[in-house]
Structure 1
Amino acid sequence: MQKFYQRLKENQKERARCAFLVLHFGVLAVLLFLARPLLDTTAADREWSIHFLFPCLLACIILTTVVSFCRFAAEPDQKPKPRYVGWKQPILMLANAAYLFATLEFVTNSQFREMKWYYALLNIGVIFVLSIFVSLFLNSIRRAMIFMNIFYFCMSLVFYYVYLFRGEAFQLIDLYSIATAADVVGGYKFEITGEIVTSFITMMLVVRLWLQSREYRFARKTRNKILLRVAAAALMLGTYLAYMNLNWNAEFGVISDLWNPAKTYRQYGTTVGFTAVAKYMRLTPPDGYSKDEVTAIADTSEKETKTEDLRKDNADSVTPVNIIAIMNESWFDYRSVGDPQTSESYMPFLDSLTENIIKGHTLTCTKGGGTAKTEYEFLTGNSCKRFPGMVPYVSYFTHSQYSLVTTLKDQGYQAIAMHPNKATNWKRSTAYRFLDFDDFISIDQFSDTAKRYRGMISDQANYEKIVETYENKEPGSPFFLFDVTMQNHSGYTNRYFQADINCNGYDSDEADQYFSLLKLSDEAISYLIRYFQQVDEPTMIIMFGDHSPKLPDAFETWIAGDAYQNLSVEDQEKFYGTPFFIWTNYSMKSESNVWISTNYLSSYALSLTGLELTPYNEYLLDLREKMPALNHLGFLASDGTWYRWNDSDAPEEDLEYERQYECLQYNELIDKKDRDDSFFTISGEKDEE
């Protein structure tokens, strides 16, 4: 001990290190006492002793402090040289892998204790293998373990908050949309839980122990380090090929629910679930897909679709000079699910419209998030059923795409896209170029004085920009504008936004804020419709919601009368049915309570005009007669019955229709070389872009 004091007295660097140790553990102790209410809540929620977490963490801090200071006091003036890895280090790495597995599940998985023991071992094994790769590349056990502990803590926050805010699990594909996520993250409220505090404290303690551990390396000479990293890279490549091409997940009994990855994570562990779901990011051809199969489907469709009837019906229709399509962010009507019992109506203007309007619900493939999926369905006529967890804009747009845009431009329309946010969100700037829009109006073209709610451009300001763009076009020239609004984006916890509507019977500031935003949306719709009622040029306005909002699960249970997972497929589908309407400022037969899915919506709207349809539009309209609505959960049959895709009593004929539909979608989206251009265009000419 005397030597230790002498070291501190004579060496300023040693004093600084000692002060840092004191500060390190002092901060953790203070944090522990401040966070005690959170820890008590966590313990109670998990049915543990309410005094369990706090004393355990305090004991860990004290023990680690004693160990750290003992090591520091006994440490010689010169640090020992690094040693080669022996048999003890892999055991410590395996123990660290077990800790990382436990802390990740503790933060993110409420069903952690229900996991089968062999899946827990599988997760630990995967983390251990990852730790080996990191150790080989860094040529250091200590540095690798420090990295792994910090990395896994950060990932636990990512998994937790992504699910909290979006209602969907974080997936590998989300890395492509990180800029979009960063842009809207300010609208959410980050709540600190007892699990997060516990994980942070233990992570800091474990990192401290690794920092003071002895260095162990695999190689010392430069040549050996290079050979080590080459060997590690080769080993990683071999592991990746095995991961992608072997059916390892089935061998271990891991069944990936691609449309509900969170379920996979909870059942099999977050690490294993994440890797299992990521394996299916690649888009594979549907069963029976071939160029000849696509040609046969297209030929049969052109013979069977009621082309002449469509032409005849369209000949009597008014051809709109202006077509304005608006995808309204998080626009949803909970009256289709239950009785929200709000203090006042939140859609009074839309409810009042009865002339020249078709209203109903359009079935989407996403809930609580995933805006660009619904957008893709509307513009292309393809369904996102084949893209669980993936967004075509981000993953598959590498060449020109046929869509409503190309169909209208072939008939003389100017095509403009609008979105009052960053152009790079969901890679729209690239996607819109492949869709052949003439121009893209993003947030940069909106005035700094434009009205905002919660920092987002209001629907009113958005529609004023639409009017401004319309007034700047050449009078009489065909005009198509596709707009994606921003006002109602989640989350709904902004303390500066005054909610004017209350949800009676359910006490929730988030619900009150959301319904108040819907009322503002309705007022903006009133402005837009009243403006174009006075316009002489025939105008069609199409509006639909992209998905339901991300409100608390407890609210959804209250409004539906039961937890979502306990509902029938028909009642579950109601959470995917967003409002839509097609309105014209000229005479058109009105309808209400129409059920459709977003992949049909643009073809349906075109069928109400005198415009020419592509064979694919006609195919979709014919498919709609057989299957009026479909999404990833299931479909609505022509007799009004809802089915899941895997239901044993689902009509085989309908399942075959859907398989053929998938073949056509794959041909249009992916198979550029053998794409049947004549089926997706009016002119039939191949786009060489």
Structure 2
Amino acid sequence: MQNVKTKPSVFAGITRRLSPLRYVMAPLVSLITLVCTEWIHRGELTMAVLTDNVLPHLPAFLLTWLLLGCIYQALARATRLHPLAVAVTGLLGCIPAAVTYFKLKLRGEPFFPWDLSQFSEATDVVGKSGVELQTSMWVSGLIFALLFVLACFVREPKTGIRARLLGAGIPAVGALALVFGVFISPTVSQLVGITPDMWMQNRYYRNYGVIAGFLTNIQNLQVDKPDGYSQEAVQAIIDKDASQDLAPEFEGSYKNEGDGSVTQPNIIFVMNESFWDVAELEEYGVEFDQEITPNLHRLMESAAYGKAYSPSFGGGTCDVEFEALTGYSVEFLPSGCKPFQQHVTRPMFSVASYLKEQGYATQAVHCYYAKFWSRNTAYPNLGFDEFISLEDFENPEKKRDYYWGGGLVTDAEMTRRIIQEWEERDKDQPLFMHAVTMQNHTSYNEANYPEEELVDIVKAPEGISDKTLGALRDFATGVKEADAMLGELTDYFSQVDEPVILVFWGDHYNPIGSGYEVYTATGYSSSQDSEAPELHQMPLMIWSNYWDEPVDIGTVAAYEISPVTFELYGLEQPALFDHLIDQLSVYRSRTHGVTIQPDGSADTEELTEEQTQWFDEHWMLQYDLMFGQEYALGEQ
């Protein structure tokens, strides 16, 4: 029989001609991945990026390129599928870059390793926040689609199993060595020039790139105990605090000038979403058509008022309430971590657990889903007997449905629920209630309210876009309704017979419209940096129905909210709160590398020797209560 020769297919011919590309695919695809990753992360690639970020920190980018190349080569050799290697390598760079871009826009912070435990929360917020696909993203997607098609014509030669394992094993070992021996090793990563910059993570990622920044942050997952931690060390701090009284006078407070007859008042915390006094913009050329915060200003004449320095910007509400409820500072924890999810995994000291031991009923109310930020597990561990979440509201009033399908529960609805829970409480116990609102959550668009409900802007400085002005109308309307909540609550509780303390504050600032435009164009902030001190000082009102003297609190940390409340009203305090009250004499807040000095000024310099001692002692007590043996509880 005569042999019949078959003509090679076009595909086979192209494959034969392109197969030599297998030698350059790994370095080429890894380089393209690195470039696209940084383009997506930054939103632009300019000469300044090369000169200011890449070249001064070139080893970090070269090591990242090498890591991506090792991953590509290991996959290609192991599977003989270059398209798979292209897809995996591209996704490993571009997905973290896109997440970082959106997180920076929404919250001013990049993508962290511990964000992986917050996937459901992140997708929920991103899906409702109006973020848009950027040019860098779809163009990068197109580039990788073309690379994928090209890779389909690249073939690895058939080899024995040993040769394949060796060809895949060497780059795989190289990738593991880079991850565990360089990026996750503090000593080696610093040796190659990757210097920690935990207080300014956005700058850290700019300087070293998304992948290097993400991997080196894994170093921070481990919380190390303070040097010298022991029962004796904790006791020494407590004894020192007991032997001195450095607490500020808080002239006009109930503790200093009241009769001291009220020892177990009912206490209601209200943390209002994104609440800050937007009327302050009127000093910077913005004019509204109405008074936005009349109740806030009115109550400053009969209550304690100041600012709470927030650890968050653009999100991370749970960090603020974590600090306010515990006296713990996120400054001591891995930057960007979420304590409710990572650390509050067992029963732990908080103002709720402390008051519960004093005979209080403890209740939390939040008008969003219980699982959000793992409040459903964190709240019981903090000592709350009951948690009322969105699932427990029946047909609540909602507004602002432009981005949030169905809208968000209003502050007015939350006011009604707080009053309802008060009226239905067990009257044989004093009540501690912690309420968190949702109405004014980012993002902002004037379509969120009917025109007749919107606050109007009569005048604004030049340089603010129409989009931002529309977003500012939305935000200001929410602030007005939050202020109405404050007024209605104080009006209601001023009529009840039982003593009540109401603590009302905002959690964080947000981008409004186009990034920081509303702050920089007005001069409200001189920086497009989420760490600017003026973008972290939230209104703090501590009011009661049995004392009406004004008290100027000044600026205090969010972790000082509970201690200051106890101090103002002369309530018996746990050891940690005693320490934090005395700490106010040396600094008011230490948050993300910014120190609020006793005179209220913001300082980014290093702490003094005395301040460092107080800072370290705070960490000693916090570590003891969060991770240690809870020696400090023996002094309560």
Which TM bucket (shorter chain)?
0.7 to 0.9
Given the superposition, is the C-alpha separation of residues 502 and 170 from structure 1 closer, same or farther in structure 2, using an over 3 Å criterion?
farther
Matched, 1:121 2:62: yes
Matched, 1:473 2:425: yes
Matched, 1:347 2:304: no
1:560 aligned counterpart, secondary structure? coil
Please, which of 597, 602, 620 is the counterpart of residue 642 of structure 1?
Answer: 602
Given the superposition, is the C-alpha separation of residues 589 and 266 from structure 1 closer, same or farther in structure 2, using an over 3 Å criterion?
same
Partners of 2:216 and 2:236 lie apart in 1 by 35
| Residue correspondences, number | 598
Deviation at 1:344, TM superposition (A): 2.3
Partners of 2:13 and 2:76 lie apart in 1 by 26
Conserved? CA contact 1:305–1:618, under 8 Å: no
Given the superposition, is the C-alpha separation of residues 245 and 89 from structure 1 closer, same or farther in structure 2, using an over 3 Å criterion?
same
Conserved? CA contact 1:305–1:619, under 8 Å: no
Matched, 1:678 2:633: yes
1:173 maps to amino acid: W
Deviation at 1:156, TM superposition (A): 3.2
Please, which of 147, 165, 181 is the counterpart of residue 106 of structure 2?
Answer: 165
1:586 aligned counterpart, secondary structure? coil
Deviation at 1:395, TM superposition (A): 2.0
Conserved? CA contact 1:366–1:547, under 8 Å: yes
Partners of 2:230 and 2:429 lie apart in 1 by 41
Matched, 1:554 2:520: no
Conserved? CA contact 1:420–1:457, under 8 Å: yes
2:538 maps to amino acid: T
Deviation at 1:490, TM superposition (A): 0.5
Aligned to 1:247: 187
- Greater shift, 494-503 or 251-260, is seen at 494-503
Aligned to 1:19: none
Conserved? CA contact 1:364–1:547, under 8 Å: yes
2:585 aligned counterpart, secondary structure? helix
2:510 aligned counterpart, secondary structure? coil
Partners of 1:217 and 1:244 lie apart in 2 by 36
Q: Deviations over 1:403-451 (max 9, x none)?
A: 1012211111100111111111111111112112101111100113433
Partners of 1:232 and 1:354 lie apart in 2 by 63
Given the superposition, is the C-alpha separation of residues 436 and 564 from structure 1 closer, same or farther in structure 2, using an over 3 Å criterion?
same
Deviation at 1:400, TM superposition (A): 1.8
2:417 aligned counterpart, secondary structure? helix
Please, which of 263, 266, 272 is the counterpart of residue 328 of structure 1?
Answer: 272
Aligned to 2:40: 107
Conserved? CA contact 2:117–2:341, under 8 Å: yes
1:330 maps to amino acid: S
Matched, 1:660 2:623: no
Partners of 1:566 and 1:237 lie apart in 2 by 35
Given the superposition, is the C-alpha separation of residues 615 and 269 from structure 1 closer, same or farther in structure 2, using an over 3 Å criterion?
closer
- Greater shift, 238-247 or 178-187, is seen at 238-247
2:323 aligned counterpart, secondary structure? helix
2:573 aligned counterpart, secondary structure? coil
Given the superposition, is the C-alpha separation of residues 420 and 475 from structure 1 closer, same or farther in structure 2, using an over 3 Å criterion?
same
Q: Which has the greater radius of gyration?
A: 1
Matched, 1:362 2:314: no
Q: 1:72-471 counterparts in 2 under 5 A? A: 73-75=10-12, 89=22, 91-109=24-42, 110=44, 112-114=49-51, 115-117=53-55, 118-119=58-59, 120-132=61-73, 134-135=75-76, 140-215=81-156, 220=161, 232=172, 236=176, 239-240=179-180, 243-305=183-245, 316-319=260-263, 321-334=265-278, 339=284, 340-354=286-300, 356-387=302-333, 388-454=335-401, 455-471=407-423
Matched, 1:564 2:564: no
Given the superposition, is the C-alpha separation of residues 123 and 533 from structure 1 closer, same or farther in structure 2, using an over 3 Å criterion?
same
Conserved? CA contact 1:327–1:375, under 8 Å: yes
Please, which of 547, 554, 568 is the counterpart of residue 608 of structure 1?
Answer: 568
Deviation at 1:140, TM superposition (A): 4.1
Given the superposition, is the C-alpha separation of residues 522 and 300 from structure 1 closer, same or farther in structure 2, using an over 3 Å criterion?
same
2:28 maps to amino acid: A
After superposing on structure 2, the runs of 4+ consecutive aligned residues of structure 1 that deviate more than 6 Å are 223-231, 309-312
Deviation at 1:608, TM superposition (A): 3.1
Given the superposition, is the C-alpha separation of residues 297 and 321 from structure 1 closer, same or farther in structure 2, using an over 3 Å criterion?
closer
Given the superposition, is the C-alpha separation of residues 160 and 566 from structure 1 closer, same or farther in structure 2, using an over 3 Å criterion?
closer
2:507 maps to amino acid: D
1:100 maps to amino acid: T
Matched, 1:501 2:434: no
Aligned to 2:404: none
What is the root-mean-square deviation in Å for CA atoms of aligned residues? 3.4
Conserved? CA contact 1:188–1:493, under 8 Å: no
Deviation at 1:137, TM superposition (A): 6.5
Deviation at 1:266, TM superposition (A): 1.4
Partners of 1:250 and 1:384 lie apart in 2 by 24
Partners of 1:330 and 1:477 lie apart in 2 by 32
Partners of 1:126 and 1:184 lie apart in 2 by 32
Deviation at 1:265, TM superposition (A): 1.6
Given the superposition, is the C-alpha separation of residues 138 and 423 from structure 1 closer, same or farther in structure 2, using an over 3 Å criterion?
farther
Given the superposition, is the C-alpha separation of residues 554 and 617 from structure 1 closer, same or farther in structure 2, using an over 3 Å criterion?
same
Deviation at 1:167, TM superposition (A): 2.2
Q: Deviations over 1:581-619 (max 9, x none)?
A: 011112242224622111111011122335321122211
Which runs of 5 or more residues in structure 1 are unaligned? 1-5, 8-70, 683-689
Given the superposition, is the C-alpha separation of residues 164 and 628 from structure 1 closer, same or farther in structure 2, using an over 3 Å criterion?
closer
1:107 maps to amino acid: I
Partners of 2:152 and 2:340 lie apart in 1 by 44
- Greater shift, 258-267 or 456-465, is seen at 258-267
Q: Deviations over 1:476-499 (max 9, x none)?
A: 521111011111111113634346
Given the superposition, is the C-alpha separation of residues 477 and 553 from structure 1 closer, same or farther in structure 2, using an over 3 Å criterion?
same
Deviation at 1:157, TM superposition (A): 2.4
Q: Deviations over 1:504-548 (max 9, x none)?
A: 314422222111111121122222222222222211110111111
Partners of 1:380 and 1:416 lie apart in 2 by 15
Given the superposition, is the C-alpha separation of residues 651 and 157 from structure 1 closer, same or farther in structure 2, using an over 3 Å criterion?
closer
Aligned to 1:525: 486
Conserved? CA contact 2:68–2:89, under 8 Å: no
What is the percent sequence identity of the aligned residues? 24
1:480 aligned counterpart, secondary structure? strand
- TM-score using structure 2 length: 0.85
Partners of 1:408 and 1:197 lie apart in 2 by 53
Partners of 1:147 and 1:181 lie apart in 2 by 22
Partners of 1:393 and 1:490 lie apart in 2 by 21
Conserved? CA contact 1:418–1:440, under 8 Å: yes
Partners of 1:76 and 1:91 lie apart in 2 by 20
Aligned to 2:504: 543
2:12 maps to amino acid: E
- Greater shift, 471-480 or 283-292, is seen at 283-292
Deviation at 1:666, TM superposition (A): 1.5
Conserved? CA contact 1:136–1:218, under 8 Å: no
Aligned to 1:15: none
Given the superposition, is the C-alpha separation of residues 151 and 606 from structure 1 closer, same or farther in structure 2, using an over 3 Å criterion?
same
Partners of 2:50 and 2:171 lie apart in 1 by 38
Deviation at 1:129, TM superposition (A): 3.0
